[in-house]
Structure 1
Amino acid sequence: MTTNLTNQDALQLVVAVHRLIRSLRQSASVRRLQPTQLLVLAELASQGPMRIGEIAVRALCSQPTATTVVTGLESGGLVRRESDPADGRATIVELTGLGRETILSLAHGEAELLSDRLSRLSAEELEALRCATPLLRRLADPATR
Structure 2
Amino acid sequence: MTELSEDDRAAVNELRGAVMRLSRRLRHQRVDETLSPTEMSVLGTLARCGSATPGELARKEHVQPPSMTRIVAMLEAKGLVRREPHPDDRRQVVVSRTEQAAAMLAESRSKRNAWLASLAEGLTADELAVMRQAAPVLEKLAHL
TM normalised by structure 2 equals 0.87
What is the CA–CA distance in structure 2 between the aligned matches of 1:126 and 1:67, rounded to whole Å?
42
What is the CA–CA distance in structure 1 between the aligned matches of 2:66 and 2:15, rounded to whole Å?
30
Secondary structure of residue in 2 paired with 1:49: coil
Asked whether 1:31 is paired with 2:11, we answer no
Segment of structure 1 superposing worse, 36-45 or 58-67? 58-67
Aligned to 2:80: 78
Gaps of 5+ in 2: none
Aligned to 1:140: 142
How far the C-alpha of 1:13 sits from its partner, in A, is 2.1
| Larger-Rg structure | 2
Aligned to 1:45: 47
Percent identity between the two aligned chains? 34
What is the CA–CA distance in structure 2 between the aligned matches of 1:20 and 1:118, rounded to whole Å?
12
What is the CA–CA distance in structure 2 between the aligned matches of 1:71 and 1:135, rounded to whole Å?
36
Structure 1 vs Structure 2 CA RMSD: 1.8
What is the CA–CA distance in structure 2 between the aligned matches of 1:79 and 1:59, rounded to whole Å?
16
What is the CA–CA distance in structure 1 between the aligned matches of 2:93 and 2:21, rounded to whole Å?
36
Change beyond 3 A, Cα 1:68–1:16: farther
What is the CA–CA distance in structure 2 between the aligned matches of 1:127 and 1:58, rounded to whole Å?
32
How far the C-alpha of 1:109 sits from its partner, in A, is 0.5
Gaps of 5+ in 1: none
Out of 3, 10, 13, the position equivalent to 2:12 is: 10
CA-to-partner distance for each residue in 1:40-88, whole Å, 9 max, x for gaps? 1111011110011211122122222222221211111111111110211
How far the C-alpha of 1:3 sits from its partner, in A, is 5.8
Secondary structure of residue in 1 paired with 2:90: strand
How far the C-alpha of 1:104 sits from its partner, in A, is 1.0
What is the CA–CA distance in structure 1 between the aligned matches of 2:138 and 2:56, rounded to whole Å?
22
How far the C-alpha of 1:137 sits from its partner, in A, is 1.3
